[in-house]
Amino acid sequence: MAGVAQGFCDDLLREQLRPFNRFEATALHGSARAQSRYTAAMTTSIDTPVNRPDITIFHNNRCSNSRGALALLREHGIEPNIVDYIATPLTAPELAELVAHLGVPVRELLRSKEAQFKELGLDNVALGDAQLIQAVAQHPVLLNRPIVVTPKGAKLCRPPELVLELI
């Protein structure tokens, strides 16, 4: 009898842990219980990313490349320090430090298709790094993203898969 009970419990547990989506939950069960089961399944996972304060992503959630890089980090079990640089702009000294860490010219980090790029005359090659950094500090939308910094280095991760080189 114990084997039958164990088999029933195993089937019940398997059903409880079976992956499904909210559409399936509504279509099959149509209940608040099904919806809450879906929510619980989506928020409790043995694959929860580990908080890694030594990894930072300079992130803009409106950018698909930025969302993609963040998703890749999380898929690899990493929950980075997320800096929403639009909401909390970097200062000119912070930007200068980031550029130095990246080891690339400031111009490579600018979003040249932004309207402010042309309006501010940033296409003028006579402008120096300090002027470009100051413009980005005042207009953070000009900073290309995502930028990821890890113990292995820093990189502008466009396309997002470049983040894999840093983990």
Is 63 among the residues known to form the active site?
yes
Residue 56 near residue 83, CB atoms below 8 Å: yes
Which residue among 63, 90, 95, 148 is the active-site one?
Answer: 63
Rounded distance between C-alpha atoms, residue 101 and residue 43, angstroms? 35
Residue 57 amino acid letter: I
Rounded distance between C-alpha atoms, residue 147 and residue 154, angstroms? 7
Q: How far is CA 66 from CA 20, 32, 61, 101, in A?
A: 27, 34, 7, 19
Give the single-character DSSP code of 156. E
Q: How far is CA 84 from CA 61, 62, 99, in A?
A: 8, 11, 17
| 9 half-sphere exposure, CB direction, 13 A CA radius | 6
Q: Would strands 153-156 and 78-84 be described as parallel, antiparallel, or unpaired?
A: unpaired
- The catalytic residues are 63
